[in-house]
Each structure stands twice: as structure tokens, then as C-alpha cells.
Amino acid sequence: MSEAETRMLLIRHGHNAYLTDRRMAGWIPGVHLDAQGQTQVAALGQRLASTAIAAVYSSPLERTVETAEAVAAPHHLPVVPVEEIGETHCGEWTGQSIEALRQTDAWRQVQRYPSGSRFPGGESVTEMQARMIAALDGLRAAHEGQTIAVVSHSDPIKVALAHYIGLHLDLFHRLIIHPASITELIFTATGPRLLRCNDYAHLPAEMGAA
């Protein structure tokens, strides 16, 4: 890797009870990794132990911080919380059943036309993407020529990835980001390149599709 190349590992947090219950966790405090999630992030930490990571950044929510700690520990690095890479501010949908939300017009609007949609009582998808990109661009500028780990959430990672690979925001739902997966970008003088997406080869087979 040349001095001008910066690698960014975008990592989704591990499994938690809200994924099992299929509810929107949003910014609800106290959502921790469950036993499955703890197993996932232990494997994640081992997978990345030999990677020369210079810094570990995380959404401030517990499930992401706990995931980031597993990544940071082998490198003896602190976890630096960054609010701007946090979960979607989903407003009135916070805590709600995804199956129930799927029956609503608002849900269908967000799925079909994300670039023109706002979560009821929350942020728009465009706002979510803008804050993610502003934060990630700032982090990579601070670590030119290094590798950094950024632990976030499914939709924020997907909208950021869409931006960097030139995918229209209305198509970001076509991307899949599993819990405790790694998506790697490299930033060069000629622009960003996607090295891997949704890599969860470190997880046991029964945990890979959670």
C-alpha cells in the first residue's frame, strides 16, 4: 500500500436481541450484544488481529462499542466514539416491529424511493448518508496511508458504500451487510475502490446469515 492509499474497514456490529425479535433498535440505549453476537465479535477480533489497524472508531451505541472493543483489543487501541456514524434516527419507528411496519405506506416509500424519504419523526435517508460521508471523509483524511476500522450499523454502512461505489441512493437496499461483517474500501489518488463487501468468512456457517 502506497503512502497515498488509505484503507477503511466498515464493520457492522454483532447480533443482538432486536435482530432476533425483528424490531427497529434505532438509538434505544442498552441494546447489548447477545451470546451469538459475542461469539461473532470474538471471531471478528481474531480475524483482524494480524491487520495493521491504526485506529478504531465506533458509533456510540453499546452494540457497536462492544464490537469495536473486540477489534481494538488485539491492537491495544482505544475505541473512539463518533456520533455521526451512529444508527439511523428512525423517529416513530424506534422499537417497532419490522413486520408491522412493512404493512405501512411510509415503509414502502422508504424502500422504493429512499432518496426522497424521511423516517417519520426522524432523519431523511439523504441526511443519514450526508452525515456518514462527512464523518468518514474526515476520518480517512486524518489517517492518510493507514488502515482504520469503523464500526457502525447496516443502513449507515450501506448508504456510505453506495456513495463511494457510485450506486444511486435509491438502490442502496440491494446491498447486504450481515452482523459482524467486514466491508473494505481503499482510497487512492484516483478515487475509492471496493476490495471486499459483507465478508463474514470468519463466522461459523450457522451465524453467517443472521
Mean pLDDT by 10 residues, the chain (210 residues): 82 98 97 98 98 99 99 99 98 97 96 96 98 98 98 99 98 98 97 98 75
Q: What is the DSSP string of 94-140?
A: TT-BHHHHTTSHHHHHHHH-GGG-B-TTS-BHHHHHHHHHHHHHHHH
pLDDT, position 88: 98
Cα–Cα separations (whole angstroms), residue 22 to 19, 100, 124, 208: 5, 10, 22, 17
pLDDT of residue 4: 77
pLDDT value at residue 204: 86
pLDDT score at 207: 66
- C-alpha cell recorded at residue 23: 424490531
pLDDT of residue 205: 78
Residue written as cell 433498535? 25
Whether residue 19 contacts residue 179, with contact meaning beta carbons closer than 8 Å, is answered with yes
Domains and CATH numbers, the chain: 6-150+158-204 (3.40.50.1240)
171 neighbors 159 (Cβ within 8 angstroms): no
Phi/psi at 202 (5° precision): -80, -10
